[in-house]
Structures are given as structure tokens and as C-alpha cells.
Structure 1
Amino acid sequence: MTRIAMLGLGAMGSELARVQLEGGASVAVWNRTPGKAPSLDALGATRAATPDDAIRDADLVVVCLSNDDATRAVLDPLATRLRGKTLVNLTNGTPAQARRMARWASDHDVRYVDGGIMATPEMIGAPHALVLYAGDAAAFEQHRDVLARFGAPRFVGDDPGRAALLDLALLTGMCGLFAGALQAIAMARHGGVAAEEFAGLLVPWLHAMNGLVPAIATSVDTRRFEGGSSLAMQVLALDNLIEASRESGTDTTLLTTMQGWMRACVDAGHGADDLGRLIDVIRPVS
């Protein structure tokens, strides 16, 4: 039986502990606020008074705290006790923070795996949950079956910052999707269309548009931006979207930002190119 220490019992950490207990693991749990997630007690969790107590007999230490500073504050005093153990850090953070933590772990002979959870707490252990991992490949493989209880495990490379990079990039795409959806809903509601009614039109439309993403990605990689709807045409079409937003009292920041990117490309002589060309404005080629 794998002995796990779970440090952090917030909304996500408590669900991570739950699926391990339900999967038959021995789990010692610690949280800064004692008594958090009482439902874990009935599942057989061992309550630890300190992080040191939690990790003492653990083979695998899983951390899911509020941020990198909180994680470092908890782990720094445990460096000697963690020696030889596998540390899986599921705290949301940046690639630079993950690499810094990996260097710290290496300095203290700790096997380090960084993770990015692509799921909400209620999705943990469910079929659509995905967790990205990077860092020590051998440590990941040793504990793959245990980690699979959280969600489908995908190892994305030896660079410990790669899981965080992909996690945050995916979340960035999600933010853009939700921002666009809310902008559209606000416009529709101004015209008397209920949000639920409009969602019935919006969701299939967004599904259809998502099908264009692979072609856009190919154009970015190959630097071939012809074949789609031209930026010169789209920059003009956005005038109507922006005007309709203003008429409805809806914030236009999202649309004017995108139109600004398009205009920059058109002004640079790329009006005949398609949307993929915007990558050069979003992240200029060095």
C-alpha cells in the first residue's frame, strides 16, 4: 500500500486526498487550519498535527497549497525529512517557480515532479480530469498508478516547468473563451434575449469555431498564413461588433484589443493573411 502525505486540504487538496483514500491508499493529511475537510476522517485519513508528522512515514508527498510562497514556507523546514522521497507539487504556479522548486529539491536529494491540474475540484477522479506532470520521469513512472486516481496522468517532459507552462497556457485559452462568451451574452441580453436561450445558439457556434484552431496552429508553426479569411476584411467587420457593443452599453475592451492586433498586422503589410498572423503582435518575433 502506498503511503501518501497530503499537505493542504483546500477545495482541491481535500478532493485529492479523498480519491486516494477511496482508492485504498494510506493517507496522512495536514492543513494549516486544523479539522479542515472532516469527511476525510470517515474514509480513514490520519490527521497530522504538523507537516513533519504528515510526511514522516510517507513514500509520496503531495502538496496543494494556495501559492508558491505558501508551498516554500511549508517545505523549506522539511528539507532533511524529505530526502529520498518523491514530492509531487500540485500547487498552481509559474514555470519559473516550478524550476526553482526543482532545483531546491535536487539540492536536498528529493525526487521532484511538478503538476498542473486541468480540472475543477468536483472533477477530480472523474473521466474528464487531466493532470499534467513534468520533472523526474522515473519518479512519475513509479507512482503513475497512484497519480492516475486524480485524473488521467500525462507526462509532458523532463523540464519541471513544462507542466506549469501548459497548464497556464490552457487556462489562458479558457479565459479568452469565457470572456468572449460573456461579452456575447451581455450583447444578447441587451436585446431582450435571455442568457440561457442565447447559450443554445452560442455553444454550437463556439464548437464549430474551435475546429479552426488546428489550422491556425499549423499556420503559426509553418509561417504560412494564407487561405483563411483575410485580416483586412476582418478588421473592418469588427467595427460593427464594437459599435453594437457600445450601443448596448457593453465594455468593448476585448474587441478593441483584437482589432488593434489586426490593424497592426494590416499596417505592416499583412492584410491578406489570416488570423494566425496575429501571433507576431501577441508575441513579437525576436
Structure 2
Amino acid sequence: MTRKHVTVLGLGLMGQALAGALLRDGYTTTVWNRTAAKADDLVARGARPAGSVAEAVAASPLVIICLTDYAAVHELLDPLDGELDGRVLVNLTSGTSQGARETAEWARQRGAAYLDGAILATPEAVGADAVILYSGPRTAFDRHEPALRALGSGVTHLGTDHGLSSLYDVAMLSLMWNILNGFLHGAALLGAAGVQATAFTPIANKGIETVNGWLAAYARQIDEGAYPAFDATLDTHLAAMEHLIHESEHLGVNAELPRFVKTLADRAAAAGHGGEGYAAMVELFRKPAA
């Protein structure tokens, strides 16, 4: 058994993509799934099927796990206990930072090194330009970095805090949903005037590019804790938000999203940030809701 031996537990669409990428890169890949038939295509391509979770774990020094949640991970691995000693477990199952840290401690007690990971890509991108984030001991990452890089060109080790990959993952989900909801609301507004969403898309993309250009400056303001209004104050943004609410209601488009955004901005202004730039809104997000 060498570093060219890898085990993949869980063969959903993402798990199959992970195993396939390892096979293409020349790794001896052992696979296991509760429904064994999901391994058939991979076995036809050279993967080694394991008859049990214990057999799969014993086959490789590196065990990559991709299941539905952390509870499923523990359901599979808790019974093994001593059989995990000396293994590097890489958990690419979506979860929370708390779950990642707790699982890392659980693995440590069983003699296993643990890396938590987050895949910011679709299965089709695995083995190509997939962005995959890892957090946990650098020594474990370095030991198996070639295998991990076989899964995507955007592989990054974030640090030793096991919870970082999950935190980045949910932060990206927040970004994704906010961008998509803004686009969908904008499409609804223009649709009320008979404008096709496909006609809106090129202009929307330009707007996203413009906002993207602001992020670096916003990030510096957040890190420094000072929010000078380079373009417009939060009070000015509030006036524009009122226009968006009025336009939505006038056109019969749902105004809940812009109303919610304005409610948050009103709170920030009431806290004394009205004369600062929009990045001051981060102070509101840093605190739990009242």
C-alpha cells in the first residue's frame, strides 16, 4: 500500500467524479457505496470494489469521504474505531464548522489525521478546474497533495483550523444566493415591462463585473474597521432602496426582498453608519439578530 492507493467512500454523483478523477490520474482506487451497483462503471474502468467499509479503509492510507452529511460519516466509521489508526481521512461531505472541528477531534482520538474539505464546483468540473478547499494539519495535506490536486486545479489549503473549509463554503453559498436572488428580482421587474430575461443578462453581467471591482476596496475597509464613502453614503443607498421598493410595488412585483434589504440598512444607519460607505453594513452582519 503506497500513496498511490486511495479509497473513496460514497458514490453519489460527486463521489463518482472524485473516484473517476483519481483513476484517470493513475491512482489505485478502492471504492465503496451502500448501493454496490453504483460502483459498476468505476470498476469497469479499473477501480477496486470493497465488500465492506472496513475493507475499503484498510486498502489505502488516504480515505476520501463524500456522503450526505456528517451523521452518515459517523454511521459508517464509528464502528471501525481502531482500524482508522494511521489513516488520513479527507471529508468532502458538506457540513458546518462545528461539525468539522468535532469530527477532527473524533478522528484524533482514533489515531487518524483529518482534513475537512469543501467542493465549490459541480461534478463535471472535478478533475479539471474544480475549486476544492481543505483545512486541517498541513502535514497531512502535504503528504497527499498530489492525489488531492488530481481532483481539481483550484485546490487550496486554508489553514490548520478544521472549520475553515466549511466556513468558506457557507460564505460562498451566501454570496451565490444573494447574487441569484438579485438577478431573479431584477428579471421579474423587467419582465413586467415585457423584457426577456435573456435581454437583461448581458447588462446584469456588466453590473456584476462592476460590483466585483469594488470587493477588494471593501475588504480593506472591513479589515481596517473604517468605512469611508468613496462613491455614496449609506444614506444615499437608502434613498435608492426606497425607489426599488416603490417600483416593485407599482409593477406588481414582490417587494419583500428590497424591503428586507432596506430594513437592514435602516438599522445600520440608526446605529450611526448613515454617513459611511456601504461596507459599514458588515457591522450589522457581525451581530446576531435582535
TM interval, short-chain normalised: over 0.9
Note if 1:266 corresponds to 2:272.
no
Q: Which moved more, 1:28-37 or 1:56-65?
A: 28-37
Q: Does 1:96 align with 2:98?
A: yes
Q: Distance in 2 between matches of 1:250 and 1:44?
A: 54
Q: What CA deviation, in whole Å up to 9, does each residue of 1:91-136 have, x standing for no partner?
A: 0111000000000011010011111111111111112x11111112
Aligned Cα root-mean-square deviation (Å): 1.4
Matches for 1:1-286 after TM superposition, within 5 Å: 2-127=4-129, 129-151=130-152, 152-228=154-230, 229-284=232-287
TM-score (norm 2): 0.94
Deviations along 1:150-198, one digit per CA (max 9) or x if unpaired, are 1122111111111111121122111111111111112122211111111
Cα contact 2:89–2:113 (8 A) shared by 1: yes
Number of aligned pairs?
284
Cα deviation for residue 271 of structure 1 reads 1.4
- The CA distance in 2 between the partners of 1:267 and 1:136, in whole Å, is 44
Which runs of no fewer than 5 residues in structure 2 stay unpaired?
A: none
- 3-state SS, counterpart of residue 272 of structure 2: coil
- Could you tell me whether the CA contact under 8 Å between 2:14 and 2:122 is conserved in 1? yes
Structure 1: unaligned runs, 5 residues or longer: none
Secondary structure of the corresponding residue to residue 251 of structure 1: coil
Secondary structure class of the residue paired with 1:35: helix
Residue 109 of structure 2 aligns with an amino acid whose one-letter code is D
Are 1:22 and 1:43, in contact at CA under 8 Å, matched by a contact in 2?
A: no
User: Does structure 1 conserve the Cα–Cα contact (< 8 Å) formed by 2:9 and 2:67?
Assistant: yes
Cα deviation 1:182-238 (Å, max 9, x = unaligned): 111121222111111110111111111111111111111112111231111110111
How far the C-alpha of 1:37 sits from its partner, in A, is 5.0
TM-score (norm 1): 0.95
Secondary structure, counterpart of 2:188 in structure 1: helix
Q: Give the drift of 1:249.
A: 3.2
